[in-house]
């Protein structure tokens, strides 16, 4: 499939999801040659899972299908510019490129405004609206020390 056909598939998924009571988001993960590996739609309300965005669902399905957490060599087509969570997941999955339809500004105009998260990420933890504080860091560091000393770990 061409990149335009793959984007049309992501858009089609987003429209079908609205018709089925879900959010207006769809995603397709494909090889660089245009073979679909996995798809995903927004299932936040149907699954009561705030992380069940289309991109995350597509990444989960692709990783399961390929049997790996590293999706390098593949690309994602998403009906909308990814939110901060999905963008992070795309980077962690090591996808090679993102193609998107609607922009984050388009999403903001229909009530999906992630700008406050982008704004929060730019702040020091102490200055964010969601209170956070370090707790038991002297104990927590033990897991990091154990990880560092492990010779047969699978790095990701």
Q: Is residue 92 part of a domain?
A: yes
- What domain range includes position 16? 3-113
Mean pLDDT throughout 36-45?
98
pLDDT score of 140: 95
**Cα distances (angstroms) measured from residue 33 to each of 2, 37, 73, 111:** 8, 11, 10, 35
Residue 132 has pLDDT above 90, yes or no: no
Q: Is residue 27 part of a domain?
A: yes
Q: Is residue 151 part of a domain?
A: no
Residue 130 has pLDDT above 90, yes or no: yes
Residue 155 has pLDDT above 90, yes or no: no
Strand-pair category, 74-80 with 97-102? parallel
**Which residue is listed with tokens 């009530």?**
111
- CATH for 82: 3.40.140.10
| Percentage, residues of the chain above pLDDT 70 | 100
Q: Is residue 136 part of a domain?
A: no
Q: Is residue 68 part of a domain?
A: yes
pLDDT score of 45: 96
| Percentage, residues of the chain above pLDDT 90 | 94
Query: Using CA atoms, how far apart are residues 12 and 28, in angstroms rounded to an integer?
Result: 10
Say how many domains are in the chain.
1
pLDDT, one tens digit per residue, over 50-65 is 999 999 999 999 999 9
Active-site residues, by number, are 55
Average pLDDT, the chain: 96
Q: Is residue 141 part of a domain?
A: no
pLDDT score of 107: 97
């Amino acid at each position: 499939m061409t990149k335009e056909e793959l984007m049309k598939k992501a858009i089609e998924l987003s429209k079908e999801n609205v018709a089925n009571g879900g959010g207006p988001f769809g995603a397709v993960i494909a090889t660089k040659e245009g073979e679909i590996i996995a798809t995903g739609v927004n299932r936040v309300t149907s699954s009561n899972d705030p992380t069940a965005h289309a991109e995350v669902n597509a990444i989960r399905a692709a990783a399961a299908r390929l049997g790996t957490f590293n999706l390098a060599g593949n690309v994602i087509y998403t009906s909308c510019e990814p939110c901060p969570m999905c963008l992070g997941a795309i980077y962690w999955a090591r996808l090679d490129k993102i193609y998107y339809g609607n922009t984050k500004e388009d999403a903001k105009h229909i009530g999906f405004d992630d700008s406050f998260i982008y704004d929060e990420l730019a702040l020091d933890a102490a200055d964010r609206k969601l209170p956070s504080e370090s707790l038991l860091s002297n104990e927590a560091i033990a897991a990091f020390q154990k990880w560092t000393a492990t010779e047969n770990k699978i790095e990701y």
